[in-house]
Amino acid sequence: MAYEWDFAFLWVLWPHLLVGLAGTAKLWAVALICGLGIGLVVGIFRTAPSRILRSIGTVYVEAIRNTPGLIQLIWFYYAIPMVTGWQASAWLAAVVSLSIYTGAYSAEIYRAGIASIERGQWEAARAIGFGFGAQMRYIVLPQALMRMIPAFGNRAIELAKATTLASTIAFGELLYTAKVIAEDQMRPLETYTAVTVIFTVILLPVSYGCVWFERRLARRGGVHRD
């Protein structure tokens, strides 16, 4: 017998989905800001003259990028309490793990953006007495950041999708809310279809916006793709 689709219950329960969406948005915003901050520091480490700083940055990036984000989240939520005796909330565990995860990928965007600045500009800055910090602050980053914007846009989209991992530790984001509704109403197909539509409606315009900006920036003289 063919499955009979019925979305009527969602018209009653849509406020719950909005609450879940708000949880997703909050988690995304905080993790993105923290991740970009971590990435900036690590990206500078990766390009620093100091071998020690470069090694620290490399170890961090390789360790995080080569392990699944879900494993990192579970480790922060379950393993740390077993070792330390301190239990983080689902919110804090999700923010910390997603920030660290995003930071590793953002660091590579920063590193590539910094490396895209012509060597002559570095040499000119050194010639007038600028140290590494001043070169970054006044010469390199102001130019490199513009080139990184499309890659950061793509990373923001990936992070939005990665927030669904928080459903595994019962944080009340959109997917977890949908899971509760699906189990309560015994309508998983309709519920998860609604979640798919919500993510598509929000992220598809952002994706096209990133592509448009990337093309516009490329016409004006260069862009870094991640």
pLDDT at 221 (0 to 100): 60
Give the class (CATH, top level) of 8-221.
mainly alpha
pLDDT at 222 (0 to 100): 54
Q: What is the pLDDT of residues 83-106, one digit of tens each?
A: 888 888 999 999 999 999 999 999
Identity of the residue numbered 52: I
Buried b (16+ CB within 10 A) or exposed e, 38-68: bbbbbbbbbbbeeeebeeebeebbeebeeee
What value does the mean pLDDT of the chain take? 91
Residues of the chain where predicted confidence (pLDDT) is lower than 50: none
pLDDT at 32 (0 to 100): 97
Contacts of 188 (CB under 8 A, 6+ apart): 182
Domain boundary assignment for the chain: 8-221
pTM (2 decimals)? 0.88
Q: How far apart (Å, rounded) are the C-alpha atoms in residues 28 and 163?
A: 7
Distances (CA, A) of 106 to 17, 156, 185: 30, 10, 40
pLDDT at 1 (0 to 100): 66
Which residue in this structure is represented by tokens 């990928």?
105
